Amino acid sequence: MRRLVISLVGLLAIVACGGGPASSTTSPAAPPTPTIKFTMGAQNASGVSGTGEVVKGSGSFTVTIKLTGMAANSSHISHVHTGSCAKNGGIAYALSQVIADSSGAATVTSTVPAEYSIPSGGWYVNVHHGPDFSAPANGPSISCGDLPAA
């Protein structure tokens, strides 16, 4: 009798804790968001290079770049431009300021409030030499990466 009571108590504990058979009404997981990877190459003999990735969202996309080879604690403006690294175009979207740490490395993530739909002429990510366009020396590119079509 004692074994029967212990067995019933154990069974009730399993059922109360949801330890019964798996339910067939679970909702399917959302499909993973693909990551689009690209390479950031050095420009104008800067030695600044790295990697980048784009994650598409609904009505926006996120760009993350990881760079090394910058001057320690330096600050740089960055953009998505039309065209390509080989055939430069105008600014399409401003990205977040790239700020190097004491070793000259930086990781920055920016969200662009637009669909990731690359025009026929292309898009590229450009990191400029300086923190703004207040001086001509700040404008040249130190690193560039062509964005691939999704």
pLDDT given for residue 32 in this prediction: 58
Q: Is the dihedral of CA 83, 89, 94, 97 positive or negative?
A: positive
pTM: 0.77
Structure-block tokens of residue 56: 């598409």
In terms of DSSP H, where are the helices of the chain?
A: 2-16
User: pLDDT tens for residues 48-75?
Assistant: 999 999 999 999 999 999 999 999 999 9
User: pLDDT tens for residues 11-24?
Assistant: 334 334 444 444 44
Rounded to 5 degrees, φ, ψ at 93 are -145, 135
pLDDT given for residue 107 in this prediction: 98
What are the structural domains, with CATH classification, of the chain? 33-146 (2.60.40.200)
Q: Which residues of the chain have pLDDT under 50?
A: 1-25
With a CB cutoff of 8 Å and minimum separation 6, the contacts of 91 are 79, 80, 81
